[in-house]
A and B are shown apart, each in its own frame.
Chain A
């Protein structure tokens, strides 16, 4: 963790899980026979689903494959109930609708402009040294600044905010072994963010009441929406919903950018093609390269769901398989994105694959809330890097991704100043 040294370290189990999750080649090597010959394996306690179609099916069938058992407790501890940790219920449906109503079509243009501006500032700050840290120098602060400006949650300072969000996200989505140290980090960070947001909400309400000009961010809109009973959340409800969005908004993005650059640097031809697109300001094409690159090292190689009842996946196909009620179902995102039934010649890097096949943002009811933002943000941040001349890894281990638990923490590149 950045900041004060933690009094205790995470347990061995969590260390091993993190190490494995960051070895995409190993995961591919182990799972390729599964994808081809035994796409689903199920015991009474655990099941693994590796076929692309089955992964989509599990993520889509949100009534049978639920999330509350997976991350509801962590979400409740860190932030309070949030739609990504809830299964369908009147509460879930209402709050999802309110969150959807708070977003406007024009937002995407604003986001693009903001991300570009932030990225340009950060790259400019590094230019004279000829060296940039993809995580600490670009992606993580850029995403944190977007949280401040678009969501309206700046935090006391950027470093503290980044620390809180990483600890909160770790506990909420990645603490697979219920590691007590991770849990303590997450709940402490969550409590601090909670207090900070209470202040922000009170301040914004006072500003609105005083008739001051307030920024048009998500916070502002949720407060305005309190006037209409259909979209009204209590102050605590505003805090809880906004907090849920905020917690997932930074470390996912920075992980994606770091992994994408890392994969492109391993493929000089692809890197060159992507750079040309970036220089031509064709960010859409940069995005194609980014998401294809991420296929080789996705931000979440595996997603978990909970089987709420005895059921079957791939019913009516030769791959049909029984899933036991009460078991944890691992949706193997990475192997599914190497399923030859969907990805022709999966071992090949091809930037012309249909973008709808990727599973980077999950799918179904609990797909990533920030996907539309990140479909813009990730390519923009990547493009800002690619435009640099003679982009290459820094010497020694500095030029490799170094992880803090499950998160890329440092990854240094050099370029011609």
Chain B
């Protein structure tokens, strides 16, 4: 297992099995040819029976080229429990197909050497995890999400059934009680009588983040106080030196960043062909990229963008991803990521050679609305990430890492579209549910057993 799989969030883990396809483009075409029929019947095919694999939320297979010119197979999944457990089960159930697929990949064991154990070892060895991993509902297992959906369905059916005879002018508490009692009679739903639980990371995550930030502030404050301490004391000298280094580093980084940004802007002006022409030229491939788009409530995207050359941009990018990852783990774990309430699972991952940035997301609604949310709600974060990358369209001019950038709607969308590759196989365990639906189902379950005041009862009944 790669060191990066620590990015699992309180029970949910991301794996990104990243393998080089032999034979370049034609090799990739061969892999896509194997994968396409699976993708066409993703929930029902027998070769890779995703729907029978416990704990799997989302999974996808995509073949993408990287800056190095090589094609890679990206097999991504979001699972309850560890990737090792999941992949072991997968190998057990889909061994032959995996051997066929990965037979096109570098270093895959040949013939009899490809025992189940060897396949598993291969997959785990190539798991590069995620640099930033976001989970919409941290701690909510597939089972829990499905169970809460079943509860809602049962309530909806109950109130429509002829047996539900509460008179329309009864008070709200009577309705609530009638629903609770009706559900209590269903042995399948006996679990609802137990009090709901909240995952620890949701309960304490924000507190922890505030604690970390407070500790940082305290350290700096202490340095400042020491630096203002008795003249000629050793402590003052040390603190002063630390502060000078800290400030110096910050200033140097800022200067370096602005220089890099204005260099980028200058290069952008000389871009040939212009970004729009580059996008226009590429846009006839758009249909292929959108091959699996808008088939259901949710969508999937994979984006691959070269990181700007040089150590500086890579270092900035890694730092930004680390910070966002921390925020996503501890703060944004309740159905929204910085104001975007439509992402189930998303990740950024930098492949080992450090030349590209891969973004994978499982989101609700259309790509257009998803990108609009990016632009309107989270342009700061996205600029901080993607301004370190570049493709033929180029990321819009950004200042101080976060300003401008993604706010340039037309160009940002062209940039993002240009970076996308077709999703060949994509599985969702609950394809009809949006992040908001999960939230509603959760709230219905939470307040089902408890008796409420009229205002809350009204809100509760309004959720149905």
Q: Interface residues, chain A, CB within 8 Å of chain B?
A: 7-8
A7→B458 CA distance, assembly (Å): 14
Q: How far is the CB of A185 from chain B (nearest CB, A)?
A: 13
Q: How many chain B residues have a CB neighbour from A under 8 Å?
A: 3
Q: How far is the CB of A187 from chain B (nearest CB, A)?
A: 13
Asked if B160 CB lies within 8 Å of chain A CBs, one says no
Q: Which residues of chain B come closer than 8 Å to A7, judged between CB atoms?
A: 453-455
A7→B457 CA distance, assembly (Å): 14
Q: How far is the CB of B458 from chain A (nearest CB, A)?
A: 10
Q: How far is the CB of A33 from chain B (nearest CB, A)?
A: 43
Q: Which residues of chain A come closer than 8 Å to B455, judged between CB atoms?
A: 7-8
Q: Which residues of chain A come closer than 8 Å to B454, judged between CB atoms?
A: 7
Q: How far is the CB of B456 from chain A (nearest CB, A)?
A: 11
A8→B455 CA distance, assembly (Å): 10
Closest to A181 in B: B455
A-B contact pairs, 4 of them (CB 8 A): A7-B453, A7-B454, A7-B455, A8-B455
A7→B453 CA distance, assembly (Å): 9
Q: List 4 A-B pairs, minimum CB-CB distance, nearest first.
A: A7-B454, A7-B453, A7-B455, A8-B455
Closest to A184 in B: B455
A7→B172 CA distance, assembly (Å): 15
> What mask results when residues 419 to 458 of chain B are scored 1 for a CB within 8 Å of chain A, else 0?
0000000000000000000000000000000000111000
Q: Which residues of chain A come closer than 8 Å to B453, judged between CB atoms?
A: 7
Q: How far is the CB of B452 from chain A (nearest CB, A)?
A: 12
Main secondary structure of the interface of B (DSSP, over half): helix
Q: How far is the CB of B132 from chain A (nearest CB, A)?
A: 39
> What mask results when residues 101 to 144 of chain B are scored 1 for a CB within 8 Å of chain A, else 0?
00000000000000000000000000000000000000000000
A331→B454 CA distance, assembly (Å): 39
Main secondary structure of the interface of A (DSSP, over half): loop
A8→B454 CA distance, assembly (Å): 11
Closest to A8 in B: B455
A343→B454 CA distance, assembly (Å): 52
Closest to B454 in A: A7
Q: Which residues of chain B come closer than 8 Å to A8, judged between CB atoms?
A: 455
Q: How far is the CB of A182 from chain B (nearest CB, A)?
A: 14
Q: How far is the CB of A180 from chain B (nearest CB, A)?
A: 9
Q: How far is the CB of B436 from chain A (nearest CB, A)?
A: 23
A8→B453 CA distance, assembly (Å): 11
Q: How far is the CB of A9 from chain B (nearest CB, A)?
A: 13
A303→B455 CA distance, assembly (Å): 32
A7→B173 CA distance, assembly (Å): 15
Q: How far is the CB of A215 from chain B (nearest CB, A)?
A: 33
Q: How far is the CB of B51 from chain A (nearest CB, A)?
A: 46
Q: How far is the CB of B169 from chain A (nearest CB, A)?
A: 13
Q: How far is the CB of B73 from chain A (nearest CB, A)?
A: 55
Closest to B453 in A: A7
A135→B453 CA distance, assembly (Å): 34
Q: How far is the CB of A188 from chain B (nearest CB, A)?
A: 11
CB contacts under 8 Å to A, within B296-344, are none
Q: How far is the CB of A195 from chain B (nearest CB, A)?
A: 13
Q: How far is the CB of A172 from chain B (nearest CB, A)?
A: 22
A374→B303 CA distance, assembly (Å): 72
A35→B314 CA distance, assembly (Å): 63
Q: How far is the CB of B68 from chain A (nearest CB, A)?
A: 54
A7→B454 CA distance, assembly (Å): 9
A7→B455 CA distance, assembly (Å): 10
Q: How far is the CB of B459 from chain A (nearest CB, A)?
A: 12
A175→B453 CA distance, assembly (Å): 24
A8→B456 CA distance, assembly (Å): 13
Q: How far is the CB of A175 from chain B (nearest CB, A)?
A: 18
A7→B456 CA distance, assembly (Å): 12
Q: How far is the CB of A84 from chain B (nearest CB, A)?
A: 30
Q: How far is the CB of A179 from chain B (nearest CB, A)?
A: 14
Q: How far is the CB of B196 from chain A (nearest CB, A)?
A: 26
A265→B453 CA distance, assembly (Å): 46
> What mask results when residues 176 to 200 of chain B are scored 1 for a CB within 8 Å of chain A, else 0?
0000000000000000000000000
Q: How far is the CB of A313 from chain B (nearest CB, A)?
A: 36
A143→B454 CA distance, assembly (Å): 34
A357→B453 CA distance, assembly (Å): 51
A7→B452 CA distance, assembly (Å): 13
Q: How far is the CB of B451 from chain A (nearest CB, A)?
A: 15
Q: How far is the CB of B455 from chain A (nearest CB, A)?
A: 8
A273→B429 CA distance, assembly (Å): 86
Q: How far is the CB of B365 from chain A (nearest CB, A)?
A: 30
Q: How far is the CB of A7 from chain B (nearest CB, A)?
A: 7
Q: How far is the CB of B263 from chain A (nearest CB, A)?
A: 39
Q: How far is the CB of B462 from chain A (nearest CB, A)?
A: 14
Q: How far is the CB of A329 from chain B (nearest CB, A)?
A: 31
Q: How far is the CB of A151 from chain B (nearest CB, A)?
A: 30
Q: How far is the CB of A60 from chain B (nearest CB, A)?
A: 40
Q: How far is the CB of B274 from chain A (nearest CB, A)?
A: 39
A261→B98 CA distance, assembly (Å): 92
Q: How far is the CB of B19 from chain A (nearest CB, A)?
A: 57
